[in-house]
Each structure stands twice: as C-alpha cells, then as structure tokens.
Amino acid sequence: MREKYLLRCPGCGRSFPDHYTLDCPSGCDALLRTVYAERRLTPRNLPGIFRYKDWLPVEGHLPLDAGPVSYESVGLARELGLSNLTVTFSGYWPERGGGMETCSFKELEAQPTVLRLREKGAGVLQVSSAGNTGRAFCQISGLTGAPVVVVVPTAAAGRLWTTIPTANVCLITVDGDYSDSITFGREVCSLHGIVPEGGAKNVARRDGMGTVVLDGTLAAGRLPDYYFQAVGSGTGGIAAWEAAGRLVADGRFGSRLPELHLSQNLPFVPMVRAWEAGRGVIVPAEDMPDAEASIARVYADVLTNRHPPWGIRGGVRDALAASGGRMYAVANEDARSAGRLFAETEEIDLDPAAAVAVASLARAVEEGFVDPEKRVLLNVTGGGYERAAEDLDRYLVEPFLRVAAGAAFDGNLRQEVAAWLAEQAEVAARA
Ligand SMILES: *Cc1c(COP(=O)(O)O)cnc(C)c1O
Ligand SMILES: [Zn+2]
C-alpha cells in the first residue's frame, strides 16, 4: 500500500482510495473505515490533534492547538475509589492546555473533516446541528476561513456562537424542529458544490474523535480496560473502538480492547433499550416512546439523536459487542450531582453530557461493573463553559436566511445560496 491510507468496507471487505467517500461503492449498509499504512503510532511535533496525524485521513495539518488533554485524576479518583483513572478532557481549560474554545469534543471532528474536504477538493461542507457540532464547525470555519453551510432550527440559533469572528458561514435557520433542519440541509446539498458532512459515516469525524483514546492511552502508557462516554449518536464510541483496535495492532499498549461503557440520559435512551432487548434495530415505539416529550425532559440534550448508527455494520452495537461493553441509563438528578462532584474534585464545569458519563462511572463502581484497580479512561466530552465565558470574546453567528419548515429549496432561496457559494469561490480564488 503506497497511499497513507485506504478506505475499507467491513461489509464486503473491499479497499479503495478516498475521494471524500461516505458510502461503500458496492452499496453495503456499513460504515467505511480507514486503514493506515503506518501500523505504529508516532506522535508528531504538531499542535493539537495533529500530533496524531499518522492516524488521521489528511495529508497536512491545521495550525490549531485544540486537542484532547489527558491527566491522571486524583480528586475524582479518590472520591470514587479508583486507582487508575485517566481523564481525557475536550473543552476549554487553559491550566491543563485545553484549547477547544467552543467547549466540546465536536472540535475534534470538525478539524480533520474541514481539512480532508479541502484536500480532496470535494466542495463546501453542509452541517445540520442544533448544538455543539454546529458551533464547532462555525469556529473552525472562523479559524481557517473554510466555508460552511450550517442549518439549524431557529430556536437553537442562539447556541451558534464562536470566539472569533466568522466571515464564511452561511447560517440557515429553519422554523421547525431538528428533523426539519436535517431535511432542508439535505435539499441544500442538491446544489452543485455543497456536500453533506456525513455524520458517523465520515471517517475524518470518527478518527478525529478517536484521538481521545490515542491521547489517553499515551498519557497512561497502556490501553485502558474501560472506556466511559455519554452518547447520542454513539459515533464517539465507534471511534474509540476503532482507535483502540489500531493501538492493539501497534502492539506496544496492550492486547485487549477496552470495554465500552456508554451512557444515555433518561428518559430518552433508545440505544440502552435496544441493547437490553438485544435488538439490532431501534424500534421507535419500544425504544423511544413519546420521543418528543422525552427529549424535552433530558438534562443533556446533545444526547438525543433519533437515528444513531446502531445496527449498521461497524456501528455502535458492533462496537459494544466486540468490546464486551455495557450501557447505562442516567437520570437527570444523578447527572447533575455527578457534574457538581466533578467540579468540586477536578475544578472545572462540565457539559451536561459529560456529567452523564461521570454519573455512569459512579454507578459502575457502585454496582461492581468495573474492577477499581484496573485502568479507566473517562472521556470528558465537553466542559469549561464558565471559564470560556469569563476569558473569551463571544460572537453570535448571524443568520443568512430564515426559512419555514418544509420550505422547498428552489427559486429565490436556491439563488441566494448559489450566490453565496459563488462569492466563496471568488474569495478562495483571490486568496
Ligand atoms: C455530541 C456530544 C456527545 C455525544 O457524542 P456521540 O459520540 O456523537 O454520541 C457527548 N458529549 C458532548 C459534549 C457532545 O457534544
Ligand atoms: Zn461494501
């Protein structure tokens, strides 16, 4: 293999070069994976996640110092009675070197995604997200000048802030719910030159999130025995499993995959239900009854994805099964008190989703699901909002268009976005 990496389909086993490919050319219902020529991980002297460039589907790097930071916990570990607890933190925490200013690990996904797209010359990225993902992509757009089309429900537009000005974001707000924005976002991709970001199917997103396991393992010197994370789509869990598999193949960090311990927030816990029922598909009536009402009641709403890549080949269920993992349903009050415990013992505020993961870890210890002498990697997927609000500027991204739910993407709307796209091409040509 001469390329740095190839894509491989776990469905049919075929390998092929990457053209910003999101799906198997033979049509398999499977998540494509990267296979890197480099079997050993050599950390590079580059900023942030590009330290792990060997195992990212990009050739170059971005000059951004925003990677995961890992350390051995003292306070929380003592409180929980754990001997080997590594915290891998993604967010804003200057004392520990945490430089993700939009405060979540979605920046791990956004960076390699933007760079991969640029290197492949695939077009302008389109993202539909009501929260952390949209904010992360706006931030990386602001930092790199990469154009991005972001479609969100109008009610969620207030969450799209950055810490630097953005000049290349086309923000479209949809007067409807998250599904309406996804539908409209898909329509926008019918415009030549705009490509969907692809979610869990995007190998750059997964390998970017996988740097959490690389960083935590290098910090501890060994692969963890257990990996804890709160999940909405579960993409981070898949990414952790894939990254751990690469480290096993490397041979220097242990030979066993960590057990995945993944958590969701009650009352919206479709993957927990499907897992407990042993089902390969999520059945809405069984696994997420009264979805809308349940979603409205959770503390950590970034965990409320209705279409996680659950049963797909190489998806969350496969990752759990292969690693001998387990799922947790966490109540709001348990997450809140775990968030407080973390703030007291580790001295940083958490994203509600990260608090769900901490609560699942406390439960696992209490119920004996983990051996307290073994190695735990806690993926703290977001935090530092309070610090960021004190230290950093905040810019609200201005909407470019506002559309009704179910609006057709034609006529004026289409022309406006096409004009924006043409302008971006001019800006790029001048640069
Ligand atoms: C998106 C998100 C999650 C869930 O991540 P997935 O792996 O995509 O399910 C957890 N925590 C935070 C802070 C997030 O933004
Ligand atoms: Zn295939």
Predicted confidence at residue 131, as pLDDT, reads 84
**The total number of residues written for the chain in this structure:** 431
Overall domain count for the chain: 3
Q: Is the pTM of this model over 0.85?
A: yes
Report angle CA 228, 316, 117 to the nearest 5 degrees: 100
Residue 422 within any structural domain of the chain: yes
Residue 56 within any structural domain of the chain: no
d(CA 208, CA 373): 29
One domain, residues 128 and 267 = no
One domain, residues 182 and 266 = no
DSSP letters of 109-172? HHHHHHHHHHHHT--EEEEE-SSHHHHHHHHHHHHH---EEEEEEGGGGGG-EESS--SSEEEE
Ligand 1 in reach of 191 Cβ (< 6 A): no
Q: Tens of pLDDT along 214-273?
A: 999 999 999 999 999 999 999 999 999 999 999 999 999 999 999 999 999 999 999 999
Ligand 1 in reach of 353 Cβ (< 6 A): yes
Residue 245 alpha carbon to ligand 2 centre in Å: 20
- CATH code at position 355: 3.40.50.1100
One domain, residues 244 and 211 = yes
Closest ligand by atom to 237 CA = 1
One domain, residues 180 and 230 = no
Compute the half-sphere exposure of residue 193: CA atoms within 13 Å on the CB side of its CA. 12
Ligand 1 in reach of 231 Cβ (< 6 A): yes
d(CA 403, CA 153): 10
Supply the range of the domain harboring residue 322. Answer: 69-102+202-388
Specify the residue with its C-alpha closest to ligand 1, atom 5: 231
Residue 11 alpha carbon to ligand 2 centre in Å: 5
d(CA 134, CA 145): 15
Ligand 1 in reach of 304 Cβ (< 6 A): no
| Residue 106: DSSP 8-state | H
d(CA 18, CA 104): 27
For each of the chain's 431 residues, which pLDDT tens digit applies?
578 999 999 999 999 999 999 999 999 999 999 999 999 999 999 999 999 999 999 999 999 999 999 999 999 999 999 999 999 999 999 999 999 999 999 999 999 999 999 999 889 999 998 789 999 999 999 999 999 999 999 988 999 999 999 999 999 999 988 888 889 999 999 999 999 999 999 999 999 999 999 999 999 999 999 999 999 999 999 999 999 999 999 999 999 999 999 999 999 999 999 999 999 999 999 999 999 899 999 999 899 999 999 999 999 999 999 999 999 999 999 999 999 999 999 999 999 999 999 999 999 999 999 999 999 999 999 999 999 999 999 999 999 999 998 899 999 999 999 999 999 988 888 87
Residue 161 alpha carbon to ligand 2 centre in Å: 39
Ligand 1 in reach of 215 Cβ (< 6 A): no
d(CA 396, CA 128): 17
Residue 59 within any structural domain of the chain: no
One domain, residues 246 and 141 = no
Q: How many other β-carbons are positioned within 10 Å of the β-carbon of residue 279?
A: 15
Q: Tens of pLDDT along 325-384?
A: 999 999 999 999 999 999 999 999 999 999 999 999 999 999 999 999 999 999 999 999
One domain, residues 262 and 374 = yes
d(CA 316, CA 275): 10
Residue 257 within any structural domain of the chain: yes
One domain, residues 161 and 296 = no
Q: Which of 273, 213, 279, 276 is nearest to 243 (CA)?
A: 213
**Which numbered atom of ligand 1 lies nearest the CA of 236?**
7
Predicted confidence at residue 178, as pLDDT, reads 80
Residue 355 within any structural domain of the chain: yes
One domain, residues 262 and 113 = no
Closest ligand by atom to 313 CA = 2
Q: Is 184 helix (H, G, I), strand (E, B) or coil?
A: helix
Residue 57 within any structural domain of the chain: no
DSSP letters of 186-220? HHHTTSTTEEE--GGG-HHHHHHHHHHHHHHHHHH
One domain, residues 256 and 313 = yes
Residue 123 within any structural domain of the chain: yes
